[in-house]
Amino acid sequence: MSATRNGDGSRTLLGELAKALSAPADDEPDDRKDEDLKERGAERGAARRAVLRSRSETSGPPSPVTNHSHVRVTNGRSATPTPRGATRSARAAGTASRAAGPGVAAPPAGAPPAAPTSPATATNGHGAGQGAQGTRRRYRTSAGRCLALGLICFAIWLLFDANQLYINANTSPPGARRTVSMIILRPIAAFTNAIGISSVVHGANDALNKANGLGSQNGGQQNLNPTCDVGGVMVPCTGGYGANQSNIYAVMPPLPHHVRGLRLPPSPPPVRTHLPKLRPIAQPTDKHPLTMLDIGDSLGEDLGYGLGDQYVGDPWVNVIQKSQVATSLSVPNYYDWPVNLENFLHQYHPQVVVVMIGGNDNNGLVQDNHFVSFGTPQWQVDFAERVQQIMDEVTATGARVFWVGMPIMQDAGLSHDMIEENGVFAHVASITPGATFFSSWNLFAVHGQYNEFIPGPNGTTIDARYSDGTHIAPGGYDYLAQKLVRPMEQAWHIKLAPNF
């Protein structure tokens, strides 16, 4: 019994002792927790006051704080209500402390604000260009400024690439789109050539081996001897010759062998049987000037510009420019030259019609619903008929035809095609009274080779061709028009200007 009591008493004493020891142990951590919370609250309050002070010093007085409050709860106990603005400031201070990195304490109460970190030296993990608070700086611009910048870039590209764009338009299929493109791009290309941009681009292409350089722009064309084909007979090109002994001037290159045997159809077109007897062209005067009609394709348009420049101040000559880009004698369903020429003849009553056409006639033609390939014997006959129709239509009104041949081209294949066409032009002119053929070939060739620059008078150099290797630049078409004056006067036995 006693032992039991002693055991029970021991257990009782031990239990009471445990209670006595456990009571202070349970209360003491609560007191310490409260003290820690108070210390942390004081530190956070000091940090919030420091942030608010730094903001007020840098950005002026703070905006009014609303009366709304919120209650922060910690360990189930409500703390003192804190304004929302102060809470946001505390959060910002905590963010700054975290951004400063581990081991760096928040600024103490009353400390002056730290200098802002420059974007170039910020290393907060968000990359350069961010401040201490991690805010990324963004640059904005207006839509109008972006549009203006885009238009400027487009204009620069258009100026530097105008010639290539014009080439692409010229080689596109005939149609309204091609015509509009060439009308728009042609003056731009002329402007770039006038101010020298095309020469810079061309020189850059030469340096990059994308085009042949100056002095080597022959496209592989062989040297051409000054002999001509008239009616299938090769003769030296030394001046006027042919059926009328005065209707072909300048020199022509040798023609391909199959062109040398060119013959017109045995029966000429019916319109030729109604040709009136041609009267001499009267000497033009101030009161009775000579009307000169220019027709053709884009090369004829080049020539028309040159004729306009040549006779702009001449009271004896009126030039009417009616050439149409992208036209040909081979595709009448796009632009019918015989029909339109008839309208021009009735409208303007010219005494002279200057023709330069053929740049688009090297793709074959359709005759009697059958396609005829370019350069074949049948093509020679069919194309000659169309050339003859133009000449007869003009001379039927008593006017004269002055047909200017195609110039040498940069591309060897295109030059070969132009030689074939020139053979047809020269042959038809040689058997047509009132028609004169003028070869422009050697005017634009240097030692028989294609060159963008040709020798001019008095040792000068003329920028004669566009960089596309086909069309004639302003210097070239003015030079060509000047070279036509003397042959025209010889063919018609007149003077074309008072000072000539």
Residue 166: which domain range? 143-207
Residue 362's pLDDT is what? 93
The answer to whether residue 101 scores a pLDDT higher than 60 is no
pLDDT score, position 211: 45
Is residue 194 one of the residues assigned to a domain? yes
**Domain stops at, among 153, 172, 207:** 207
pLDDT at 82 over 80: no
- pLDDT category of residue 477 using cuts at 50, 70 and 90: very high
Residue that has been written with the tokens 């003192």 in this structure: 80
In a domain, 125, yes or no: no
**With pLDDT > 90 as the criterion, what percentage of the chain qualifies?**
41
Neighbour count for residue 320 (Cβ, 10 Å):
18
Same domain as 343, residue 194: no
Task: Say yes or no: 153 and 288 in one domain.
Answer: no
Q: How confident is the model at residue 208 (pLDDT cuts 50, 70, 90)?
A: low
For residue 216, what is the DSSP state?
A: -
Name the pLDDT band for 346 (thresholds 50, 70, 90).
very high
Q: d(Cα 67, Cα 269) in Å, to the nearest integer?
A: 106
> Is pLDDT of 102 > 90?
no
The answer to whether position 46 is within a domain reads: no
Comparison of pLDDT for 338 and 96, the residue scoring more: 338
Query: Phi-psi bin for 125: left (phi > 0), alpha (psi -120 to 50), beta?
Result: left
**CATH (domain of 480):** 3.40.50.1110
Q: Is the pLDDT of residue 354 over 50?
A: yes
Same domain (yes/no): 395, 487: yes
Measured distance between the N- and C-terminal CA atoms of the chain, rounded to whole angstroms: 161
pLDDT tens digits, 63-72: 554 444 444 4
Looking at the structure, tell me whether residues 311 and 245 fall in a common domain: yes
User: Does residue 4 belong to any structural domain of this protein?
Assistant: no
pLDDT tens per residue across span 392-406? 999 999 999 999 999
Is residue 366 situated within a structural domain?
Answer: yes
Same domain, 250 and 198: no
Q: Considering its fold, how many domains does the chain have in total?
A: 2
- 11 pLDDT more than 50: yes
Where is the domain boundary, 158, 178, 207? 207
Distance CA 254, CA 249 (A): 15
Q: What is the pLDDT of residues 152-167, one digit of tens each?
A: 998 888 888 776 776 6
Dihedral sign, Cα of residue 167, residue 172, residue 174, residue 180: negative
| pLDDT: which is higher, 285 or 248 | 285
Per the model's pLDDT, the better-predicted residue between 497 and 396 turns out to be: 396
Same domain, 437 and 338: yes
Hey, which residues does 356 pair with through a beta bridge? 296
Examine the pLDDT at 446 and tell me if it is beyond 80.
yes
What digits encode the pLDDT tens for the residues 278-298? 899 999 999 999 999 999 999
What is the distance, to the nearest Å, from the Cα of residue 443 to the centroid of all Cα atoms in its chain?
30
pLDDT of residue 1: 44
In a domain, 482, yes or no: yes
Are 231 and 193 part of one and the same domain?
no
Q: Are residues 339 and 202 in the same domain?
A: no
Query: pLDDT value at position 17?
Result: 57
Residue 93 forms part of a structural domain: no
pTM exceeding the 0.75 threshold for the entire prediction: no
pLDDT confidence tier of residue 40, bands split at 50, 70 and 90: confident
Question: Residues 157, 474, 182, CA angle at the centre, nearest 5°?
Answer: 50
Whether the per-residue pLDDT at 209 is higher than 50: the answer is: no
Shared domain for 232 and 191, answered yes or no, is no
Is 163 in contact with 468 (CB distance < 8 Å)? yes
Q: Among 262-276, 383-397, 418-432, whose mean pLDDT is lowest?
A: 262-276
Share of the chain above pLDDT 70, in %: 57
Residue 397 has a pLDDT of 95
Assess if residue 33 is contained within a domain.
no
pLDDT digits (tens, 9 = 90+) for 372-382: 999 999 999 99
The verdict on 321 and 382 lying in the same domain is: yes
Say whether both 305 and 173 belong to one domain.
no
Q: In terms of domains, do 254 and 374 share one?
A: yes
